[in-house]
Chains A and B, each alone.
Chain A
Amino acid sequence: MPSLYAVKTLPSQEYFASGHRACPGCGEALAVRQVQKILGRNVIVASATGCMEIVSSPFPLSSWEVPWIHVAFENAAAVAAGIEKGLEILQRKGKIKKQKITVLAMAGDGGTADIGLQALSGALERRHNILFICYDNEAYMNTGVQRSSSTPFGASTTTSPAGTHQAGQLTPKKNMPAIAVAHGIPYVATASASYPLDLAAKVRKAAATRGPAYLHILSVCPSGWGIPGDATIKLGRLAVQSGVFPLYEVQNGKYKITVPVQELLPVQAYFQPQRRFRHLHPETIEQISQDIREKWQELKKRSDKTN
């Protein structure tokens, strides 16, 4: 358990300015703020559309204190790949100074796991020296809570509603970190703004990686999940402590759980405050709980093997 005061070691400089229009208590905006603090000044961002693009750039205003490009929904990774190659060539030809510039592509879960997956897979496979961050709030929030392939089983959204015919999302959450790992890239990690120090360490490692790095950040969305704005951090913690969203990293194929959990909390502790899970029957919750425990054991085994 790091000291309470340890967060003071994080940079005081802000690169994601106040005045953005995210909902009160938005966990996605908080994660963006924490990430940019670590990446600092020398970064170029390609941002797929989604909540974070919309709330940070209502023309002619911008919350970005670093070069930032708004790109379409599907091609953040492709644009970042192009920027990275462009920088490399300009530096080689001596047209710009040789220096370390992080090229970041960011997208929501829709922009990552659904429509942006092809561009992402291509960029990872071609070994571009970019960092891709998925801000996963588990649905298409910007357009009003439609399901994505990253929406967890059972969650109610406007296109996977809970009603008499259906009890929310019918399919399991797509395992994006595993897909990234399957590309054999040097660095993959999960993170959460509820654990700012763990997040900062991972962003540092990811930015220092030569070759592609992938970060998957669970981003609590009070509006889409149906929780009060002040519960954002707590929900992020509960997701980790219940095993719903374990914090780990995969460095050159080696798994490591970075925030160990001695005893998983019952998943009900995480579900109960959220409106999107309110309809779930105890049997369904039990079934989900078993699945989570199995996956957690699997992850622990992998992590133990390499440590």
Chain B
Amino acid sequence: MSRIEGVLKTLKGQGRKALIPYITAGDPHPDVTVDLMHTLVEAGADIIELGVPFSDPMADGPVIQLACERALKHGTSLRQVLAMVKEFRTKDIETPVVLMGYLNPMEAMGYEAFADAAVDAGVDGILTVDLPPEEADDVAPLFTERKLDAIFLLAPTTTDERIRAISEHSSGYVYYVSFKGVTGAGKINVEEVATKVAHIHELTALPVGVGFGIRDAKTAAAVGQVSDGVIVGSVLVDTIARNQADTDELKRALKDLLHPMREALDSLDS
């Protein structure tokens, strides 16, 4: 059983929902990323999604675009991101880490070299925004052979036929994108999400995480009610942007954001 599967199974047994924060590696500076990852765990994270910065993040809104720019200004490369995970693992061998990013940095490194290095660093899952399963024939097997979970996206526009096919290619969990739009747009409609996620649950046995548009305890609870986990991104990245100068202040601010979400999720009736 993968680390991701294990964590989600334990939570399910406890009747709890996963809190999955996203930050961009190297933002605001490569030196603080590992520290921030530990902070996320202290604040209640069950799984961490660590963004690999890319020069052309087509699926992201301005908040994460700027995070990529800050990280790239300090030269944060995929190899460095892997080194960060390795360092994180010296103190935390329990919290699963999912790398989330775009295909080209992985292609530039070479898929096999990347997959080997990801295992070596202690990465658990890979989510590539611009890699639908149709194009993943050469890549996904390299991950699954090494017991790395391949996490694919589902969207409001995904047909039933595709939901089934994508789930078959996925392991760990599937990531449901809550609305048609880019990250941080805040267009989430909780009722629509509830209907679609319930439907996805009928089509796959995999846990369903929901991301895009979750910004506070209220939206986290509403989405947690119907899913297996919530992914929180832009609101954290925005907090990083506003507290770049003072790392202690930043860590406090991140905890202040995540604690109420954790509590709200843990007070849901299961």
Please say whether chains A and B are actual partners in one complex.
Answer: no
Q: Which residues of B contact A (CB under 8 A)?
A: none
Q: Which residues of A contact B (CB under 8 A)?
A: none
